[in-house]
Structures are given as structure tokens and as C-alpha cells.
Amino acid sequence: MKQAVLLMAYGSPRSLEEVEAYYTHIRGGRRPSPELLAELVERYRAIGGRSPLPEITARQAAALEEALRRRGHPVPVRVGMKHSAPFIADAVQALAAAEVTHLVGLVLAPHYSRMSIGQYVAAAEAARPAGMTAAYVEQWHDHPGYLRAVADRVHAGLAGLPEPATVVFTAHALPERILTWDDPYPRQVEESARLAAALAGVERWTVAYQSAGRTAEPWLGPDLRSTLADLRRRGVRAVLVAPIGFVADHLEVLYDVDLEARSEAERLGMRLARTAMPNDAPDFIAALADLVAPRLRGAAPQREGPRP
């Protein structure tokens, strides 16, 4: 059996010129208004003109491939993006052309939602040929290696802040309609925060959501900015933001936290710091290898057989 691993991530434009096509893809083919497009272009311009996500994801794939090789699993690890090249479908088709017969898919997001990880898996499944079996790691919010990586970064981040500081664990907001599906996403975010805080020995912490979409429908909250205001009213002067819903530096971290949230904290008279992102650090890559390796050792795949 020829096997491969597919790492799936959100994607990002590689230049300011690609922002419009990227934004249009996110919007399901609907072009953004000139105002929305200009705002997003300026956000990318503020972080240097592009996101480092494509390069970081490529490094994560290379590091995971090496970690698996050292564990006795010499399999290729490839990248598929949801909203930019290389797209998930193209990556699956390339693996099929390389005669891969078993695929292990891992979305680089720890918390499951039908609107997030579920869509990544659906994209891979739609492209998977009948002769290829597949196993997907669809949720890993409570994986010990991931939680230890978060806790270690929280501990390090707090060391640079005055006492008493409050840790704000953040995840990407999703539309509130997921609650009508009994979607596990908010429960898993809360559990990750609770477990990571316990590992780090942190008592003062809370959960907030960030980076909500520009739509009329309500999104999960409380959002990060209102959380900062609430903490300030309660006398908190130092905050450490730990973006537990993200695993790499990209726009939602470099702009929404480092620039926008920090500016709001300064306006409120607060000091805000952020935990380092896992990116391709060895401890985080080891956690990913822990998740993938069992599915390469002949364990029963979560999804197997011909494409539906």
C-alpha cells in the first residue's frame, strides 16, 4: 500500500495582487465590494504585504515528513489549501496520479466544526478516487502534545508580563447558527482552554472569539475586543492572548491580535502580549506525528472504501 499524508490549511494570497481572487473564493465566487477589498488589502499591507502562512505550512509538512520518517514511516506529506493554491482537490488528484492508495488527512485546526474541518474533509472526499482509501484526523482539541505545546507557550508568555495577568484563549469565530446543530466547536474550544490553563498552572483565564466574518448574521462571542473592555472594567491591566484555535502565524494573528487587539488594549490602558505560535516547532510537529502515525500503521481508518 502506497501511503501519503495530506495537511490541510485555510490558505492565503501570496501577494497583494492575489487578494481579490482569494477573497472572491472565500465568498463562494461573489466578488467583494471595493470597500471590503480595500480594507483586506490594507490589512495585508500592514503585516508586510502578505501572510507567511503558505511558507509556514510548507515547513510544517516537511518537518512532519521527517518526523514520520524517523518513526519508521517514510511517507510523503503534501499540502492542500481550502482557499488558495495548492487547493485540496488538486493535492488529492496529484497523490492519486502518484498511485497513492491510502491517504491520511489532517486539518491544521484542533477544534471540529461542520463549517470548518467538516468542509475540508468534504473537499478531500469529493476529489478522492474510488481506488484510494482515506483516514481523517478530524479533531484533536484534547491531544496531550498539543495541549502541552499551548501550556508551555502560555507559561513563557506570562513570564514577560506583570502580575496579575489574565490569559485570554482565542479561537476563530463562527456563525451562531452552528449552535442549532449541536456543533461541538465551542465546547471543544472551552475544553482546550481549561486543560491548557490547568497544565500551565493558570487560574485567571477566559475564552474569547476573534476574526468574525463581515456578515449580518450573529457570530460566536464574546469577541476579543469586548472581552478586553470587560477585563479592564474589572481592573485587569495585563493580558496574554493565546490563540489556541490557530497553529501558525498569519493574518488573524499578526493583524487581528498583534495590531488591532493590541491597539485596543493600549487605548484601554492595558498591556497586551501574545503567545508564540507553534508553527513548525519540534514539540508541535511531534504532536502532529502522534496523530498521524497510528493511521499509517494499519489502524482501522475513520473513513474507508469507495467514495460515496
Strands 102-107 and 271-274: unpaired
pLDDT for the residue numbered 10 = 97
Name the H helices within 32-168: 34-46, 53-70, 88-97, 117-127, 144-159
Q: Is 71 helix (H, G, I), strand (E, B) or coil?
A: coil
Rounded Cα distance between 57 and 54, Å, is 5
pLDDT for the residue numbered 163 = 83
Where residue 1 falls among pLDDT bands split at 50, 70, 90?
A: confident
E-strand ranges in 248-294 read 271-274
Where residue 301 falls among pLDDT bands split at 50, 70, 90?
A: very low
What are the two backbone dihedrals, phi and then psi, of residue 272, each rounded to the nearest 5 degrees?
Answer: -125, 130
Q: Is the Cβ–Cβ distance between 9 and 246 less than 8 Å?
A: no
- Rounded to an integer, the average pLDDT of 231-252 is 97
Q: Is 27 helix (H, G, I), strand (E, B) or coil?
A: coil
Q: Is 112 helix (H, G, I), strand (E, B) or coil?
A: coil
If 0-12 CB within 10 Å is exposed, 13-18 middle and 19+ buried, where does residue 17 land? exposed
Rounded Cα distance between 192 and 79, Å, is 25
pLDDT for the residue numbered 78 = 98
Give Cβ neighbours of residue 197 (< 8 Å, ≥ 6 apart).
Answer: 151, 154, 167, 169, 203, 205
pLDDT reading at 302 higher than 90: no
pLDDT for the residue numbered 299 = 42
Q: 215 versus 200: which is more confidently predicted?
A: 200
pLDDT reading at 306 higher than 70: no
pLDDT in tens, 49-106: 999 999 999 999 999 999 999 999 999 999 999 999 999 999 999 999 999 999 999 9
pLDDT reading at 292 higher than 90: yes
- Domains, the chain, ordered by start: 3-140+281-296 (3.40.50.1400), 144-274 (3.40.50.1400)
Where residue 214 falls among pLDDT bands split at 50, 70, 90?
A: confident
Rounded Cα distance between 185 and 109, Å, is 11
pLDDT for the residue numbered 307 = 32
pLDDT for the residue numbered 3 = 96
Name the H helices within 203-244: 224-233
pLDDT for the residue numbered 83 = 97
Give Cβ neighbours of residue 271 (< 8 Å, ≥ 6 apart).
Answer: 161, 162, 237, 238, 239, 265
Lowest mean pLDDT, pick from 92-101, 162-171, 289-298: 289-298
Rounded Cα distance between 195 and 64, Å, is 25
- Rounded to an integer, the average pLDDT of 152-171 is 95
- The grid coordinates of residue 126 equal 469529493
Rounded Cα distance between 54 and 39, Å, is 21
pLDDT reading at 48 higher than 80: yes
Rounded Cα distance between 236 and 163, Å, is 10
pLDDT reading at 298 higher than 70: no
Amino acid identity of residue 216, one-letter, is A
pLDDT reading at 11 higher than 80: yes
Q: Is 223 helix (H, G, I), strand (E, B) or coil?
A: strand
Q: How far is CA 32 from the centre of its chain?
A: 24
Q: Is 77 helix (H, G, I), strand (E, B) or coil?
A: strand
pLDDT for the residue numbered 21 = 97
pLDDT in tens, 136-145: 999 999 999 9
109: which DSSP letter?
A: -
pLDDT reading at 303 higher than 50: no
CA atoms within 13 A on the CB side of 124: 31
- Average pLDDT score over the chain: 94
Where residue 174 falls among pLDDT bands split at 50, 70, 90?
A: very high
Check the CA dihedral 109-113-118-119 and report its sign: negative
- Rounded to an integer, the average pLDDT of 241-248 is 98
